[in-house]
Chains A and B, each alone.
Chain A
Amino acid sequence: MSFWLTLGGMVAVTFGSRYAGLALRADLPDFWVRFLHFVPIAVFASLVTPSLEGNQSEWGIRVTAAALAAVAAWRTCQLWVAVAVGMGVFWLLRIPF
């Protein structure tokens, strides 16, 4: 029983967070419109750096792979190309020579 109660709580806070922003439809002042323009940039950047490092002391090759993926993203603007380049470089560099 307590598992399902916990699950219910998890669903409530997760759905609540996801719905709250979408449901709020107000005419915002200029400052907050500009604030929201920067949300994707700030959030995406913050999703990159902490998990770039990994736990296996491979940060050198992971950062190299990410740098080349960034160049690929800049040149092609294709999500899958950037991911393919990054993972390709990462797996190649991982091969012990």
Chain B
Amino acid sequence: MARADTNTAFARGFWILAPLWLGVIPFGLAYAVSARSAGLSLLQTQALSALVFAGSAQLSAVGLLAAGAAGIEIVLTTLLLNVRHVLYGLSLGRELRLTRRERPVAAFFLTDEAFGVVAAAGERSFPFLLGAELSLFMMWNLATLGGFLLGAAIPDPEQLGVDLIFPLAFLALVVPLVRTRAELLVALTSGALAFGLARVLPGGLPILLTGIGGSLLGAFLTCGTPADRSIHPDDAAREVA
């Protein structure tokens, strides 16, 4: 019984992110094509997808490699793009009781999207998180392989407009989370702040700064109200995703 529960939680997590494959596949293809044109071998291209598993960081790294950047510049750019995950981990760590063995696994495959569905859905379990994580990991790596082998015969994701899927998905995740005036104010302010910051700062930095700024605003706005310390706070948002 427990085993069946685990399997179905994993499957629910896995399939919940399936609509995003439509966005992941063209980006994986585009990444692989860029990597190939930057002179990377198949092994190198695939190793980045399997071991780093961070789309925006991989694309920037490939661009930097093509431009002849130094290794340290690439590593620092990667850090800048991915340091927002610290916030995700802090948030997940409160929602989810993970064992010492589960933690590094959950961390290795963590993405914006996997954090998103776990934080927004009421379902907070390791198998559900892992299902969501591996759903994207599998597709990202298959698309990388396919893109490298197919080469330049790949349409540009922006041309197809499928890059719009990612903001739509996060919009769908944030809408049900907003129920109080403080939450609405934080959402609107964060959206505006990120929009402004993205014009002057690179990559993941606007997300990190907005994540900190917006959450500080929320914490200040709710001063005087007791914090909800339960593992499963609220949720009208339980049914999301």
- Chain A residues in contact with chain B, CB under 8 A? 2-3, 5-7, 9-15, 17-25, 28, 30-52, 54-56, 58, 62, 65-66, 69-70, 72-74, 77-80, 82-84, 86-87, 90-91, 94
In-complex Cβ contact of B47 among A7, A40, A45, A47 (8 A): A7
A-B contact pairs, 19 of them (CB 8 A): A6-B71, A7-B51, A7-B52, A11-B51, A11-B52, A15-B107, A15-B108, A17-B82, A22-B89, A33-B94, A38-B218, A41-B187, A43-B211, A44-B174, A46-B193, A50-B197, A70-B171, A83-B165, A90-B161
B6 CB-CB contact with A under 8 Å? no
Residues of chain B within 8 A of A14, CB atoms compared = 52-54, 57, 78-79, 82, 85
Closest to A68 in B: B168
Report the bound CA distance from A71 to B9 in whole Å: 28
| Chain B residues, Cβ within 8 Å of A72 | 172
Q: Are A79 and B172 in contact (CB under 8 A)?
A: yes
B207-241 residues with Cβ-Cβ distance < 8 A to A are 207, 210-219, 222-223, 225-229, 233, 237, 239-241
Residues of B within 8 A of A82 (CB): 168-169, 171-172, 175
In the complex with contacts A22-B92, A56-B158, A79-B240 CB distance below 8 A: yes
Main secondary structure of the interface of B (DSSP, over half): helix
Q: How far does the Cβ of B212 sit from chain A's closest Cβ, in whole Å?
A: 8
